[in-house]
């Protein structure tokens, strides 16, 4: 895969996808089967304005006595709020390398109002990643940096999911494997892309979110998620 978008997004062209998949076999086994063929020809997509949570999680710290290695399964609703807040559900896992998955349900007809959902990971008060999936099947990896006292956002990668359910009431299973400087992104058991995660390899919280893009919430509605699970892994 090789492309770019208007925000200077770049794709990693086949960075050891097969080798990384093999090395992660033991960690992937409790989760859904992995499709071995990548979806080729992902196209770039324009990025609308992005929201940020009104409150960030605490700075990532891990006590040797804390059991923060796994979370879930958890199911619930991400209730759409005012446009200056993002509905979030955090796991209890604080780690740099994780396997996380959930099934999102499309909240309403995208022709009536736009929607999105996604995964937050390596998130602290200083920085973090968001994997955002838009209602038209476009996806974005966004990196946020708070260390200068203002929120700076960079779109690291973007593309389009070929096998994506857009129908009202439909659903999509999302799985993300985060390991060091790379990640493996799957939708509905199909491999989508190898992600560039070099911006930060530090520990942080992991969670699910909806209404991340500006105007992509519809108050009075909610985005349902099901069997949200996170597991810390070691290289």
The model's pTM is 0.74
Of 45, 52, 30, the closest CA to residue 139 belongs to 45
Domain ranges of the chain: 17-46+71-232
* The pLDDT value given to residue 78: 96
Cα–Cα distance for residue pair 153/155, rounded to 1 Å: 7
Q: The domain 17-46+71-232 is classified under which CATH number: 3.40.50.1110, 2.60.40.1180, 2.60.120.560, 1.10.1060.10?
A: 2.60.120.560
Q: Tens digits of per-residue pLDDT, 199-211?
A: 999 999 999 999 9
What number of residues does the chain have?
235
Q: Which two tokens stand for residue 106?
A: 């499309």
Contact between 147 and 164 (Cβ < 8 Å): no
pLDDT digits (tens, 9 = 90+) for 41-99: 333 455 555 554 443 443 333 333 344 789 999 999 999 987 678 999 999 999 999 99
- Extended beta strands in the chain, E state: 70-79, 88-95, 98-105, 116-123, 127-134, 138-145, 152-160, 171-179, 182-187, 190-196, 204-210, 222-232
């Amino acid at each position: 895969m090789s492309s770019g978008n208007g925000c200077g997004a770049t794709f990693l062209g086949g960075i050891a996808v097969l080798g990384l998949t093999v090395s992660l076999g033991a960690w992937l086994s409790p989760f859904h089967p992995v499709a071995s063929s990548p979806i080729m020809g992902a196209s770039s997509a324009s990025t609308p304005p992005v929201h940020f949570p009104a409150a960030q999680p605490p700075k990532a710290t891990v006590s040797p006595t804390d059991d923060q290695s796994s979370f879930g399964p958890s199911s619930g609703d991400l209730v759409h709020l005012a446009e200056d807040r993002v509905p979030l559900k955090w796991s209890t896992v604080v780690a740099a390398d994780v396997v996380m998955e959930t099934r999102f349900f499309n909240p309403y007809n995208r022709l009536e109002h736009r929607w999105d959902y996604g995964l937050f990971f390596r998130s602290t008060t200083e920085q973090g990643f968001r994997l955002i999936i838009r209602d038209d099947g476009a996806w974005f990896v966004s990196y946020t940096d708070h260390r200068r006292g203002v929120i700076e956002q960079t779109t690291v990668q973007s593309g389009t999911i070929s096998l994506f359910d857009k129908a009202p009431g439909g659903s999509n299973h999302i799985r993300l494997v985060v390991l060091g400087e790379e990640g493996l992104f799957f939708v509905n058991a199909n491999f989508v892309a190898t992600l560039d995660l070099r911006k930060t390899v530090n520990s942080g919280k992991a969670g699910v979110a909806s209404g991340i893009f500006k105007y992509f919430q519809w108050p009075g509605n909610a985005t349902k998620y099901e069997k949200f699970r996170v597991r810390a892994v070691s290289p």
